[in-house]
């Protein structure tokens, strides 16, 4: 009978500096809040970008799918 030994591998953790992690977290939260605004809050009449309905119509089906009222 033969036996084989596998070499043991060690995993090393990824070290991310705290400032860089905070910057990534801030950017992610900002992006998510912008997506939430454009999909859920932008109603055209109360839009920050004027009285056009382009964004509202572009994400109209996603609004219904996610449960946001718009009619």
> pLDDT (tens digit, 9 = 90+) per residue, 5-51?
777 888 898 888 999 999 999 999 999 998 888 777 766 555 666 66
> pLDDT (tens digit, 9 = 90+) per residue, 50-62?
666 777 778 788 8
**Threshold 0.85, pTM exceeds:** no
Distance CA 42, CA 59 (A): 10
Per-domain residue ranges of the chain = 18-66
In DSSP notation, 9-63 reads ----PPP--HHHHHHHHHHHHHHHHHHHIIIII--STT-TT-S--HHHHHTHHHH
Question: Angle at the Cα of 29 (from 26 to 35), degrees rounded to 5?
Answer: 140
Q: Do the beta carbons of residue 56 and residue 43 sit within 8 Å?
A: yes
């Amino acid at each position: 009978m033969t036996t084989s030994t596998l070499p043991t591998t060690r995993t090393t953790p990824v070290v991310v500096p705290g400032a860089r992690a905070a910057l990534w977290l801030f950017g992610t939260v900002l992006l998510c809040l912008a997506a939430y605004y454009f999909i859920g809050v932008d109603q055209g009449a109360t839009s920050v970008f004027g009285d056009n309905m382009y964004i509202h119509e572009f994400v109209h089906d996603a609004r219904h799918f996610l449960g946001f009222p718009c009619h």
